[in-house]
Amino acid sequence: MARRATGKLIIGIDLGGTKILAGVVGKGGHLLGQSKRPTKPEIGPEGVIDRIAKTVREAVAAAGLSLSDIAAAGAGAPGPLDPDEGVILNTPNLAGWKDVPLAAMLGQRLGLPVFVGNDVDLGTLGEHAFGAGKGVRDLVGIFVGTGIGGGLILDGSLRLGWRRTAGEIGHMILLAEGPVCGCGNRGCAEAVASRTAIERDIMAGIESGQASLVTEILKRDQRERLTSGVLAEAFAARDPLVVGVIGRAQFYLGLLAASVVNLIDPEMIIFGGGVVEAFGDEFVAPIRQVAYENSINKTGEVKIVPARLGDSATLLGASVLARRKVNRRSRK
């Protein structure tokens, strides 16, 4: 049974290309009620925003509350976006979304102020407020999934940069003549170490004649594409092709972390995202070793750890964003 809370609460929303997740967030990041549904981006912005509003209402009902108990909503969405205006500028994960005023459109449907931020920025903010980075002043979040995204917390605050695009860690170039990235450059971290890159290299190995358990697992599960779960299963069975490709990705992520340490000197680097969640600390340990070996200070004082919040990271970070915005307004 949901625990009723007093006072104005915050809704956190995670809008992704495949799922919408909403939750009512209470004190200390406690989730009072949640709801989840597929995004269905093919129905367009109006339809998706209707689905977000429905998901929010279901989360509020699951908490035993009404929208009158809610002060505001925060939403994490894939970029690029304008966080000041709450506008999605153009995102490949949501085809057809160009200059969509998400904050205004969702706010009209809910009758609430809505604040919008980049999903990876807010995932990092969530980990800083309630997860692995709680109490840390300077940290960097690196989220490994279909792509690679990053977020910066400097002196306790989320750092967006003067154009609001800081943290594009996935597009730091690690291999100058490497594979072409989705951004058009060669050898970006995303092009050599994301799940997309891992899948590309494993399937290329299979096509070249290398034996792999991946073929059997995909056939058994009637899947066409590699998921993080499939990768984890094959890796646990020590499949030679998968172990080799994953090891190469870990090496590049270690170089990426070393570069981050050399540039920013953070107290902590948090690795999150679907790939890390599937593998846990076993995935992060080799990255940590490579980072320590290749950073200018090899003592290992910078903590390099897996994220703790899983799917809830962006939702919780979105609630932190909204709470801070509401508090700021109330002080004016």
All residues at 6 or more sequence positions from 232 whose CB lies less than 8 Å from its CB, including other chains = 278, 279
At residue 3 the predicted structure's pLDDT band, cuts being 50, 70 and 90, is very low
Give the CATH number of the domain where residue 228 resides. Answer: 3.30.420.40
Are 150 and 95 within one domain? Answer: no
* 148 within some domain: yes
Q: Per-residue b/e over 242-259, b at no fewer than 16 CB within 10 Å?
A: beebbeebbbbbbbbbbb
Tell me: do 327 and 281 sit in the same domain: no
Distance CA 192, CA 107 (A): 39
Is 299 found in the same domain as 165? yes
Q: pLDDT value at position 252?
A: 98
- Looking at the domain assignment, is residue 224 inside a domain? yes
How far apart are alpha carbons 266 and 156 in whole angstroms? 11
The token pair that represents 69 in the structure block: 């108990």
The encoded tokens of residue 122 equal: 């807010």
Q: N- to C-terminal Cα distance for the chain? A: 38
- The arithmetic mean of pLDDT across residues 253-261, rounded, is 97
- In single-letter form, the type of residue at position 263 comes to L
User: Do residues 300 and 183 both lie within one domain?
Assistant: yes
Measured CA to CA, the distance from residue 98 to residue 174 in angstroms comes to 30
Is 239 a domain residue? yes
Percentage above 90 pLDDT, the chain: 82
Q: What is the pLDDT of residue 328?
A: 82
Angle of helix 213-220 relative to helix 228-236, nearest 10 degrees?
Answer: 130
In the predicted model, what is the mean pLDDT of the chain?
93
119 Cα distance to chain centroid: 6
Domain identity same for 228 and 108: no
pLDDT tens column, 74-100: 999 987 899 999 999 988 778 789 999
Range of the domain at 104: 9-119+312-331
The pLDDT, as a whole number, for residue 332 is 67
Say what the pLDDT of residue 330 is: 73
Q: What is the pLDDT of residue 128?
A: 98
Distance CA 256, CA 206 (A): 28
| CA 27 to chain CA mean position, Å | 22
Backbone angles phi, psi at 171, to 5 degrees: -110, 20
Q: Are 287 and 271 in contact (CB under 8 A)?
A: yes
Lowest mean pLDDT among 16-20, 116-120, 132-136, 316-320: 16-20
Give residue 4's pLDDT band: very low, low, confident or very high (50, 70, 90).
very low
Q: Are residues 166 and 291 in the same domain?
A: yes
Mean pLDDT of 211-226: 90
User: What CA–CA distance (Å, rounded) separates 190 from 227?
Assistant: 16
Residue 3 lies in a domain: no
The answer on 171 and 190 residing in a single domain is yes
3-state secondary structure of 161: coil
CA neighbor of 133 nearest in space, from 113, 145, 110, 151: 151
Range 163-185 average pLDDT: 93
- Whether 127 is in a domain gets the answer no
Q: Are 52 and 75 in contact (CB under 8 A)?
A: yes
- Does 140 share its domain with 276? yes
The average pLDDT across 23-35 equals: 95
Task: Work out the pLDDT band at 11, boundaries 50, 70, 90.
Answer: very high
Return the residue matching tokens 């406690």.
Answer: 30
b/e per residue 205-226 (b: at least 16 CB within 10 A): beeeeeebbbeebbeeeeeeeb
Q: Based on the domain organization, do 191 and 294 belong to the same domain?
A: yes
Residue pair 33/72 in contact by the 8 Å Cβ criterion: no
Same domain, 241 and 326: no
CA dist., res. 88 & res. 105, Å (int) = 11
Tell whether 324 is covered by a domain: yes
Do 143 and 266 belong to one domain? yes
Quick check: 11 and 23 in contact, CB under 8 A? Answer: yes
Do the Cβ atoms of 49 and 18 come closer than 8 Å? no
- What percentage of the chain has pLDDT greater than the value 70? 97
pLDDT value of residue 6: 43
Per-residue model confidence (pLDDT) at position 2 = 42
- 2, part of any domain: no
Q: Please report how the helices 240-264 and 213-220 are oriented relative to each other, as an axis angle in degrees rounded to 10.
A: 100
pLDDT tens per residue across span 271-297: 999 899 988 888 999 999 999 999 998
Domain count, the chain: 2
- Residue 1 in domain: no
pLDDT above 60 for 250: yes
Residues 186 and 75 in one domain: no
Backbone angles phi, psi at 80, to 5 degrees: -75, 150
List, in order, residues 6 or more apart from 7 with CB less than 8 Å away.
Answer: none
